[in-house]
Each structure stands twice: as structure tokens, then as C-alpha cells.
Structure 1
Amino acid sequence: MKLYVKYDINLACKVILQEKLEEFGIEYELKELGEVEIRGNLQPDVQKQLEAALERYGIRIVSNHKNTLIEKTKDIIIEMIYEKEKLPNTNISTYLADRLNHSYGYISNLFSEVTYSSIENFIIIQKIERAKQLIIEGELTLTEISYQLNYSSVAHLSNQFKKTTGLTPTAFQRIIKKRAGAR
């Protein structure tokens, strides 16, 4: 027997984080996505135990400023693409600069330096992953998906989809339908 599960990765991480912090008796406040404010001091041994407990779920505590800024940048992009009903119409560079309180040039250069990839490439990959998820869910047309992800047209979405996955969205849809029919 197979079970097919739909899940919200951000909610799952938030719940795991809350459970572990409470398990260790740590007083905290969840801030933005990926940010926790610890009330009081965290003993080094407790922090190591917490890090080990979270590592099991693929959750890491980021300690240096550059990596923290990169992780926040990724979190904001993912939140923007996955949690908004429709991507904001504002320029993404302005959106990131405003949210992170740094110039986009600084954020972009740091992102490229640390990840060896551009913010733009990360955004494209995330948008295509979101498009794949929406295609699999089957509730929206390609026109609606391209609108939701702020593509200028279905053709633009299709070009980026094919360049990223090697398939057109329509071919991807056919594969999904064929697999669903084989169950």
C-alpha cells in the first residue's frame, strides 16, 4: 500500500522546532521564518544537544552573519513563492532589500560568493519547483500557474520549465497523469 502525502515544509519545520525547544525547556519566541529569539542565555551543552536533535530533521543552527543572511534570503524567497497566493508585483530585488535591510547589490554579491549561484537562478529553481507542485496538485491550469508565479506568459513559464527540467510543463503533466492512471 502506498500513501501519497501533501505537506507544508515550513509548518513542519516550525512544529519540530517548537517541540524541540520546549523539550529542552528553552524559553523562546518565533520571529520570521527561520528566526528564533531565545529568552535568556543558552548553555553551550544545551545548545549542542539542541543542534544534534534538530540535525536529525535536517534543521541547522546558522552561526555566522554571512550564512545567516543567505539563509534568510532563501527563506524569504521560498516564503514568497510558496506561501503567497500570488507573488508580489514588486521588483524582487527591492522586496529582498526592504525585508533584509541591506542593499540588493550587497545581498546579491554575498549570495553568489557563498552559494556559487545567483539569486535569480535560485528564484527560477524555486518557481519551477512550485510550478511542478501545482501541476501535480492538478487544481490550476498552466495559465493560472504562470499568473500566480508572475510569469509574463505561459510561453515564458514553459521556456524556463523546459530549460530547468528538460521537459515542457505539458509533457510533465502527461507523465503525472500516466503515473496516476497506473496506480
Structure 2
Amino acid sequence: MIIYIKNMVCTRCKMAVESLFVELGYTIQKMDLGEVELKEKLTPVQLEKIKEKLEAIGFELLDDRKSKTVTKIKTLLIELVQKHNAYLETPLSTYISERMKLDYHNMSALFSSLESTTIEQYFITLKIERVKELLVYDEISLKEIAYLLNYSSVAHLSKQFKKVTGLTPTHFKTTGNQRRKLIDKI
């Protein structure tokens, strides 16, 4: 049985959820960001108990198809930015359609209706949060960050950064970590 979980967006999240299922005595067959496949079939009573336990540690059990689809899209984009530095060989729409095996136009409309933002804007926001993270670490230059995250230039990165945050990357760097957002809050 596959269970979809909102806000399970990082390795620590996976560890917390895995610990919960082990504590409850379930066997995990496969686990990815946003979903857990259990060996067992669950009753409504068992699902309700899991829902309560997940909510107690900041997660939400998803039970409708639309929310599951949006969560899968978000997870896909988070992985793209965090693990692959937003590197794409195809347009974002093609990448998502191929990975989700669904029509991009329909997914885009669904995403916008449930999230009040577009898939593209969500992707940009994730990239900007990654830029903030790299700026705070202060280990690589802005030019290297632009290259790493596939911006065409430092100017393009700076313009997008200012549009999203209201600050230039340099000004953000001097103000520090307090302006970063948690990935699951984007």
C-alpha cells in the first residue's frame, strides 16, 4: 500500500517518517520523498492512527488524487534543485511531463488552482532558496552559484533574486540567514 505524505521533503523528514512507521510495526518496502510504500494493507482505523502520528510530528497524510499529484510535482522539483542543482537538458514542462507521465497543461492548471502559484514560479522560488543557502555558506562566489544553478549569467540570477526577495544577493548576504525559508513552507 502506498501512502502519500505532505511536507516530507528532505532526508531528515524521511528518517522521521521511517522511524514512525517502524515504531508502529509496519514494514516499509520503498520510501521516496513524499511517499511510503508499506508491505501491509491498512484498515481505516490504522490509517487514522498513522494520520494522527504524522500530524504530531508536522506531516500530513494525503488522501485525494489532486493533492497527491501536486505533492509529487513539488517533490520532483525539490529533488531537481537540491540534488541536481536545477540542471535540465529539456524544458521544465517536458521534464515534469516525462517524469509524471501526465499532460503538463493539466498538471499546471491543477498545481495553480491548489497552490495559488505556477509550477514555474514555484521552481524559481526553490532555486532562489538554494541560492540563499549557498550565499549563507559563503564557500563559492555568486558567479559560481549562477553557473551551478544554470543561470545564463550573474545578472540574470541577481535580477531574479531581487524580484523574489526584494534584495540583491550581496545585500542578502550581509543580512544573513534569518531571511531563508524552510523548503516545506514554500
Q: TM-score under structure 2 normalisation?
A: 0.85
| 1:40 lines up with 2:30 in the alignment | no
Q: Which residue of 2 aligns with 1:164?
A: 164
- For residue 58 of structure 1, report the CA deviation from its aligned partner: 1.8
Secondary structure of 2:174's counterpart equals helix
Q: Which residue of 2 aligns with 1:110?
A: 110
Higher strand share: 2
The 1-side partners of 2:86 and 2:69 are apart by 25
Secondary structure of 2:21's counterpart equals helix
The 1-side partners of 2:40 and 2:100 are apart by 25
Q: Write the letter of the residue equivalent to 1:58.
A: G
Q: Deviations over 1:15-50 (max 9, x none)?
A: 011101111111222243212112231122222121
Aligned pair in 2 of structure 1 residues 56, 37: CA closer, same or farther (>3 Å)?
Answer: same
Q: Deviations over 1:109-147 (max 9, x none)?
A: 111121121111101111111100010011111111111
- For residue 100 of structure 1, report the CA deviation from its aligned partner: 0.5
- For residue 175 of structure 1, report the CA deviation from its aligned partner: 2.4
Higher relative contact order (CA 8 A, sep 6+): 2
- Higher mean Cα deviation, 58-67 or 68-77? 58-67
In 2, are the aligned partners of 1:89 and 1:150 still within 8 Å (CA)? no
Q: Which residue of 2 aligns with 1:125?
A: 125
Q: Deviations over 1:143-182 (max 9, x none)?
A: 11111211111111101111111110011122239xxxxx
Q: Which residue of 1 aligns with 2:61?
A: 61
Q: Which residue of 2 aligns with 1:135?
A: 135
| Identity across the alignment (%) | 38
Q: Write the letter of the residue equivalent to 1:139.
A: E
Rg (Cα) greater in structure: 1
Secondary structure of 1:61's counterpart equals strand
Secondary structure of 1:40's counterpart equals coil
Q: Write the letter of the residue equivalent to 1:51.
A: K
- Higher mean Cα deviation, 143-152 or 154-163? 143-152
- Higher mean Cα deviation, 78-87 or 159-168? 78-87
Secondary structure of 2:37's counterpart equals strand
The 1-side partners of 2:62 and 2:155 are apart by 39
The 2-side partners of 1:66 and 1:113 are apart by 10
Aligned residue pair count:
169
- For residue 55 of structure 1, report the CA deviation from its aligned partner: 1.1
Q: Deviations over 1:70-112 (max 9, x none)?
A: 0000010011101125523321111111110101111111111
Gaps of 5+ in 2: 1-8, 178-186
Gaps of 5+ in 1: 1-8, 178-183
In 1, are the aligned partners of 2:85 and 2:149 still within 8 Å (CA)? no
The 1-side partners of 2:30 and 2:140 are apart by 33
- RMSD of the alignment, in Å? 1.6
